[in-house]
Amino acid sequence: MTLFDKDGNPVAYIEIEDENTIYLWDGTPVAYLYSENIYGFNGKHLGWFGDGVIRNHEGEKCGFTGSNVPVATKLEPFKSFKQFKPFKSFKEFAPFKPFDSWSTSSLLLKDFLRQGQ
Protein backbone atom coordinates (compact mmCIF):
# COMPACT_ATOMS: atom_id res chain seq x y z
CA MET A 1 0.00 0.00 0.00
CA THR A 2 1.61 3.23 -1.16
CA LEU A 3 1.69 6.36 1.01
CA PHE A 4 1.72 9.74 -0.71
CA ASP A 5 2.51 13.21 0.59
CA LYS A 6 0.19 16.21 0.18
CA ASP A 7 1.71 16.93 -3.25
CA GLY A 8 0.99 13.43 -4.60
CA ASN A 9 4.59 12.20 -4.34
CA PRO A 10 4.99 8.52 -3.39
CA VAL A 11 7.06 8.61 -0.20
CA ALA A 12 6.66 5.24 1.49
CA TYR A 13 4.72 2.00 1.43
CA ILE A 14 3.17 -0.31 3.99
CA GLU A 15 4.26 -3.92 3.66
CA ILE A 16 1.24 -5.70 5.14
CA GLU A 17 2.81 -9.16 4.95
CA ASP A 18 5.90 -7.92 6.82
CA GLU A 19 4.23 -7.05 10.13
CA ASN A 20 2.70 -3.85 8.70
CA THR A 21 6.13 -2.27 8.38
CA ILE A 22 6.37 1.14 6.71
CA TYR A 23 9.33 1.45 4.36
CA LEU A 24 10.66 4.42 2.45
CA TRP A 25 11.25 3.74 -1.26
CA ASP A 26 14.99 3.40 -0.63
CA GLY A 27 14.23 0.31 1.52
CA THR A 28 14.63 2.01 4.92
CA PRO A 29 12.19 0.68 7.54
CA VAL A 30 10.95 3.73 9.44
CA ALA A 31 7.80 2.75 11.32
CA TYR A 32 5.06 0.15 11.69
CA LEU A 33 1.33 -0.04 12.26
CA TYR A 34 -0.02 -1.42 15.50
CA SER A 35 -3.78 -1.43 15.10
CA GLU A 36 -4.51 2.15 13.98
CA ASN A 37 -1.41 3.52 15.72
CA ILE A 38 1.84 4.33 13.93
CA TYR A 39 4.98 3.63 15.96
CA GLY A 40 8.61 4.19 15.16
CA PHE A 41 11.11 1.44 15.85
CA ASN A 42 12.41 3.74 18.58
CA GLY A 43 9.09 3.17 20.43
CA LYS A 44 7.79 6.67 19.77
CA HIS A 45 4.11 7.02 18.92
CA LEU A 46 3.98 9.04 15.70
CA GLY A 47 0.30 9.25 14.88
CA TRP A 48 -2.65 7.32 13.52
CA PHE A 49 -3.65 5.66 10.26
CA GLY A 50 -7.30 5.34 9.36
CA ASP A 51 -9.54 5.69 6.34
CA GLY A 52 -6.45 5.98 4.14
CA VAL A 53 -5.06 9.03 5.96
CA ILE A 54 -2.08 9.42 8.29
CA ARG A 55 -2.65 11.96 11.05
CA ASN A 56 -0.23 13.51 13.54
CA HIS A 57 -0.84 14.28 17.20
CA GLU A 58 -2.64 17.50 16.29
CA GLY A 59 -5.07 15.62 14.02
CA GLU A 60 -3.52 17.14 10.88
CA LYS A 61 -3.17 15.09 7.71
CA CYS A 62 0.41 13.97 7.00
CA GLY A 63 0.01 11.29 4.36
CA PHE A 64 -2.51 9.55 2.17
CA THR A 65 -3.20 6.35 0.29
CA GLY A 66 -3.81 6.71 -3.43
CA SER A 67 -7.58 7.10 -3.23
CA ASN A 68 -7.37 9.86 -0.60
CA VAL A 69 -4.66 12.16 -1.98
CA PRO A 70 -6.08 15.65 -2.60
CA VAL A 71 -4.11 16.01 -5.87
CA ALA A 72 -3.09 13.80 -8.79
CA THR A 73 -0.50 11.20 -7.78
CA LYS A 74 2.88 10.77 -9.41
CA LEU A 75 4.34 7.46 -10.57
CA GLU A 76 5.75 5.13 -7.95
CA PRO A 77 9.49 4.48 -8.18
CA PHE A 78 11.08 1.05 -8.19
CA LYS A 79 11.29 -0.43 -4.68
CA SER A 80 14.85 -0.83 -3.44
CA PHE A 81 15.94 -3.85 -1.47
CA LYS A 82 14.58 -3.76 2.06
CA GLN A 83 17.09 -3.05 4.77
CA PHE A 84 17.04 -5.04 7.98
CA LYS A 85 14.40 -3.90 10.42
CA PRO A 86 15.72 -2.63 13.74
CA PHE A 87 14.56 -4.12 17.01
CA LYS A 88 11.22 -2.65 18.10
CA SER A 89 11.71 -0.63 21.28
CA PHE A 90 9.11 -0.60 24.02
CA LYS A 91 6.09 1.31 22.74
CA GLU A 92 5.18 4.50 24.56
CA PHE A 93 1.52 4.95 25.40
CA ALA A 94 -0.52 6.45 22.61
CA PRO A 95 -1.96 9.85 23.51
CA PHE A 96 -5.65 10.52 23.21
CA LYS A 97 -6.56 10.81 19.57
CA PRO A 98 -7.54 14.39 18.70
CA PHE A 99 -10.45 15.33 16.49
CA ASP A 100 -9.61 15.06 12.81
CA SER A 101 -8.53 18.37 11.36
CA TRP A 102 -9.13 19.57 7.82
CA SER A 103 -5.57 20.99 7.89
CA THR A 104 -2.55 19.37 6.34
CA SER A 105 0.65 19.25 8.36
CA SER A 106 3.54 21.48 7.31
CA LEU A 107 5.93 18.62 8.20
CA LEU A 108 6.76 16.51 5.15
CA LEU A 109 5.59 12.89 5.28
CA LYS A 110 9.17 11.60 4.97
CA ASP A 111 10.25 13.72 7.95
CA PHE A 112 7.18 12.66 9.91
CA LEU A 113 8.04 8.99 9.39
CA ARG A 114 11.75 9.48 10.10
CA GLN A 115 10.87 10.59 13.64
CA GLY A 116 10.55 6.87 14.36
CA GLN A 117 14.18 6.03 13.64
pLDDT tens, position by position, 60-98? 999 999 888 888 888 888 888 787 788 788 788 888 888
Residue-wise pLDDT for 9-68, tens only, equals 999 999 999 999 999 999 999 999 999 999 999 999 999 999 999 999 999 999 999 888
Cα 105 to the center of its chain, rounded Å:
13
Alpha helices in the chain (DSSP H): 109-114
Domain count along the chain: 1
Domain residues for the domain of 83 are 2-114
pLDDT score at 5: 93
- pTM score, whole prediction: 0.88
Q: Residue 100 and residue 116: Cα distance in Å, rounded? A: 22
- Give the 3-state secondary structure of 55-71: ECCCCCEEEECHHHCCC
